[in-house]
Amino acid sequence: MLPPSVFESAFNSSPIGKYLLSPTPEAVILAVNDAFLNASSRRREDLVGVSLFVAFPSDPDDPARTNEMELRASLARVRETGRPDTLPVQRYPIPVTGPDGAISFEERFWSAHSAPVFGPDGALACIAHTTKDVTEQIRSERALRDSESRFRALTTAGQVVYRMNADWSELRELDGRGFLKDTGQPQSFWLKDYIPDDEQGRVHAAVLEAIHDGSVFELEHRVRRIDGSVGWTLSRAVPMRNAEGRVVEWIGAASDITERKVAEEKLRESDRRKDEFLAMLAHELRNPIAPISAAAALLQRMKPDEALVRRTSEIIARQVGHMTALIDDLLDVSRVTRGLAELERVPVDLRTVLQDAVEQVMPQVEARRHALTLAPPPGPVMVMGDKKRLVQVVANLLNNAAKYTPEGGRLALRSHAAGGQACIEVSDNGIGMAPELTGRVFELFAQAERSADRSMGGLGLGLALVKSLVELHGGSVACTSPGLGQGSSFSVCLPCQAALPADPAPAADERATHPSAGTSPLRVLVVDDNVDAAVTLAMVLEAAGHQAQVEHDAHAALARAGRTAPQVCLLDIGLPEMDGKELARRLRAEPGTAGAVLVAVTGYGQESDRQQIMAAGFDHHLVKPVDMARLHAILATAAQLTKEALP
């Protein structure tokens, strides 16, 4: 039998931390070996003879204080059963002395095993407690869990990280979860199962190039998802080489870029519709130019008689009016969609809006032999808004219905009030539209796709204008269609007014107040750097009996005005050297022209342009091409005022 000193030597020299505990509930430390002292940074004299729970007290605020309860329970089991017991991993703060002598605590983890030691009489003599420092193992496991958490966060954010064998025949995700989650495929499968059929050729070519060159693989392509849908991904894989430089596998990442691709497609679609719109605009502008050009050539080459001149002038006037309407549409949409349109907000009876709109569109309705049914509300329905703009809304809807309904079709205009809303509905039995178009029919440029029939002309801006104007009035618009060839229905809803005031007096029609023709002739100065525009305007004035004078620059105009004192000045704004606004200011400063009627004749038609022009001292603002009826009315009024001023 070996002497006790041998056992003591073996106990102390063991590389595994050990100590002996009394079999009492206090668990007094009877002996401790050097390995445990070194691992716990403690001295033997501080531990031997002291209760284990006093030597290593638990912190009440430490979540790991369960160590003491588990250890007490384990020792009790050993005492009661006489059998060894293994404890779960325990956490202990170990004091560490730094270079400056300061003591800090380091988190350590132990696995523990308690075994009974019996004396010669078979009674429990002590409990041998063996501990093993597993701190590095716990730290490694923590690091792995953190890495997995970060990887899962990465895959959740639309990233899938994967491994590919050298020839790209087998695809494996790195952690056994991420890639499987997105593809629904087994962990090993052929690349063709991941790529849609019509993408396989392009992806396969890019893969072969990467394998051949040993270069980084990078490609945007479509992929199958777990739900069966197809999305877009940006795949990038880096070759991993062994010591000999041979590629042994690829590490890749796939990013979900479906949302970006959808946004890019929307932008491309918008650009495509804009291109179609511009092509249509060019077509629509060329249409009236052709007959104008032909009429001019006819007047040049033939000896015109009165009937021929009348016919050609009617053609020119009609086509110029068409071009003007196209340009007005563009400017109107621009103003309204940018929020620059000013609304006159007054109480308006919806019944008068419907009547005025029908009156406007009846020529087109009758020309196409449509049957139009009007069902106004039985009593007044008041809304707060701009009557002119509301009439424009309803007229645009009716024009749209007439345009896209074959000849002899049926149109209906209905209106009612319910739930504080005034609703207008325009329906037709025309060509209808596909379901996907109803959702964007009010967008700019979308109308060009509705039909290839351009027989009615126009730019397809009417519905975009309707939506903007209705929303400026606090209302909403909607469109429905059962499908192609089954007609369409457009609805507008506006907030009702609670009060029902008397119908406002209709605004006087400017042309109805025009003085009659045959008034006194006037001295009129025409200033325009466009020679043809100035000369033709002067010819019109002279044909009306006025004395027209023409100049093409501002300085010459000032000199001429000083000599002849014109009663009316028609001034272009975009003059060289000195613009028309400055010319107007100088004419106002001269005694001979201070009281002259100044009329701006310009291509600048925005509201902001009009305000600046009127602020410069002009009396009237005419947009090119000039509305001759309005010009003659201005001249007639000026002649009447001149006559009244005579003694």
Which DSSP helix (H) or strand (E) runs through 261? Answer: helix 258-301
> Position of tokens 């430390």?
29
Domains within the chain, CATH numbers bracketed: 4-133 (3.30.450.20), 141-256 (3.30.450.20), 268-337 (1.10.287.130), 346-495 (3.30.565.10), 518-645 (3.40.50.2300)
Rounded average pLDDT over 397-412: 91
Q: Is 638 left (phi over 0), alpha (psi -120 to 50) or beta?
A: alpha
pLDDT-wise least confident of 98-112, 278-292, 359-373: 278-292
Predicted local confidence at residue 86, as pLDDT? 87
Predicted local confidence at residue 68, as pLDDT? 77
Are residues 429 and 408 in contact, defined by beta-carbon separation less than 8 angstroms? no
Tell me the pLDDT tens digit for each residue of 61-75. 555 455 778 888 889
Higher pLDDT, 365 or 313: 365
Are residues 525 and 547 in contact, defined by beta-carbon separation less than 8 angstroms? no
Tell me the pLDDT tens digit for each residue of 288-311. 776 777 777 777 766 767 777 787
User: In the chain, how many H helices and how many E strands?
Assistant: 19, 22
Predicted local confidence at residue 231, as pLDDT? 87
> Position of tokens 């001034």?
571
**What distance in Å separates the CA atoms of residue 135 and residue 65, rounded to the nearest whole number?**
18
Residues found in the chain: 647
pLDDT at 155 over 50: no
Higher pLDDT, 305 or 428: 428
**What distance in Å separates the CA atoms of residue 255 and residue 231, rounded to the nearest whole number?**
11
Q: Report in angstroms the alpha-carbon separations of 436 from 260, 308, 481.
A: 21, 50, 10
Tell me the pLDDT tens digit for each residue of 22-77. 999 999 999 999 888 888 878 899 899 999 888 887 666 555 455 778 888 889 99
Predicted local confidence at residue 449, as pLDDT? 45
Tell me the pLDDT tens digit for each residue of 334-372. 666 666 667 788 999 999 999 988 988 888 888 889 999
Are residues 510 and 459 in contact, defined by beta-carbon separation less than 8 angstroms? no
Predicted local confidence at residue 597, as pLDDT? 94
Rounded average pLDDT over 531-535: 81
**Could you give the 3-state DSSP secondary structure of residue 96?**
strand
Q: Which amino acid is located at 258 in the chain?
A: T
- Find the radius of gyration of the CA atoms of the chain: 47
pLDDT at 594 over 70: yes
Mean pLDDT estimate for the chain: 79
Predicted local confidence at residue 277, as pLDDT? 62
Handedness of CA 107, 111, 114, 115 (dihedral sign): negative
> Position of tokens 């407690």?
129
Higher pLDDT, 166 or 464: 166
Q: Report in angstroms the alpha-carbon separations of 395 from 411, 432, 448, 493.
A: 13, 19, 19, 15
Tell me the pLDDT tens digit for each residue of 463-520. 888 888 898 899 999 999 988 888 999 999 999 985 444 444 334 333 333 333 445 7
Confidence of residue 554 (pLDDT cuts 50, 70, 90): very high
Predicted local confidence at residue 428, as pLDDT? 94
Q: Which amino acid is located at 193 in the chain?
A: D
Predicted local confidence at residue 15, as pLDDT? 85
The single-letter DSSP state of residue 134 is -
Rounded average pLDDT over 453-471: 68
Confidence of residue 104 (pLDDT cuts 50, 70, 90): low
